[in-house]
Structure 1
Amino acid sequence: MATADGLVKRGDGRDRPFVLSRALFAGIQRHGAVWTGDNSADWDHLRVSVPMVLTLGLIGISFSGADVGGFFGNSEPELDKNTERIREAIRTRYMLLPYFYTLFREANTTGVPVVRPLWMEFPSEETTFSNDEAFMIGNSLLVQGIYAERARHASLFLPGKELWYDTKTGVAYKGGKIYKLDVNEESVPAFQRAGTIIPRKDRFRQSSTQMVNDPYTLKGALIEPASQKAEIELGPLLMHSKQGPTAITIRKPNVRIADDWVIKML
């Protein structure tokens, strides 16, 4: 608390300092972020990091995380040979910064956590009550973690009655069912909920500062399958989709092309 207050005073109240702490107390979310402590570079600690972060979110501490690569010990080869995959994960994180920023603003004003257990979004689905391996990021993205060495399949329950779209392939899955998915070292199952729109910035940059003036991409998930007629309305814009993924660029008057908005439909 003193560190955060000191940084605010040093910047004459203009800066929003980032303070990361391993220790915590009631109300720490007003002053800084928390990480879950020194962990081991093994699958068990990777697995337990998810319910730890979910629990912290439920008690009001949304800005939390774990050392994904571990702190103690040496990781297994499967965990260690991931430089390119880590790079891709970082790129995905940067693309989703507008979405994360929106969620953190929501957490700041309402207390609703950024990362949520499934039952928080689907309280009537009993199947979600004991599931702490899959989780929601906001109300739009569902992620199924992989926590076993050399895993090739994952059992995933997609809740609700709506469709869920694979974020990589765009394939639609019907909610309310359990699916056995093929997984490998290159993929972590992630799905976008039908009827949601996720803001992104898709240009690869070396820092978020360089992204400030980059155009936005809005990625929407249709309520109906792409093989049927579907539509989305944004102010004066009405877009129809009858087949396959669709992209449309919104040309705004009197601004440079780089500031156009792109809408992608799953």
Structure 2
Amino acid sequence: MNPIVRWFHQLGSPPTFDRFAARWTPWCYAVAVVLLGVGLWQALFVVPADYQQGDSFRILYIHVPSAWMSMFVFALMALYSAIALIWRIKLCEILAMACAPIGAAFTIITLATGSIWGKPMWGAWWDWDPRLTTELILLFLYLGVIGLYQAIEDHRAAARAAGLLSIVGVALLPIIRYSVVWWNSLHQGQTINLFGKSSMDSSMILPLLIMVLATKFWFLGSLLARARADNLRREAGKDWVARLAGDSA
């Protein structure tokens, strides 16, 4: 068997995953904090003010990475759910359900920072703009996944039901992505292209990339921490959990 495939099979074991998560969660958080510090410092004190929006544009360094993460996490949750439904891998169920609260948090940050940004730009905290409306629907989908998972007592049945909702809901992501293209929108069009030419000045892009990396590492740390906690709850009563509790006592 391929060593990488064998490693993934071993990682599916609850005790192995617990050791993996315990080892790497602090490192993910540590890298995220360092990157956040560097990114925010550059965004606030190094990057020049925008010639049109002034200093108010700086909120994009939180808004844009959060918006990207809100969609990325939902897509990943749907992927984990599909794997869990097809191959009945319990760890993927756990990871999928651990994604939901984190993705919901990124979506809330996206909506909040968008409103703060919109007030000086549009003169209103909220407008039923296609991008804002579809992002709000994404939040409702996240809350639906969380609520469905919590409503069913059997963890595996709950994860399958909530996972199916996430798979269906993934159809919303391209609508969010292209809403500013398909409909008239107050929301500005795409100014940042990671794989092509951006209309944003190059001096402003580096802090944004740092913030994007920071949110990725924060997500990984949060995912591992939440998945580890759920894994331990599901495995409560097993010998390896009892030994772990004894070692930490």
Higher helix share: 2
TM-score (norm: length of structure 2): 0.24
Higher relative contact order (CA 8 A, sep 6+): 2
Higher strand share: 1
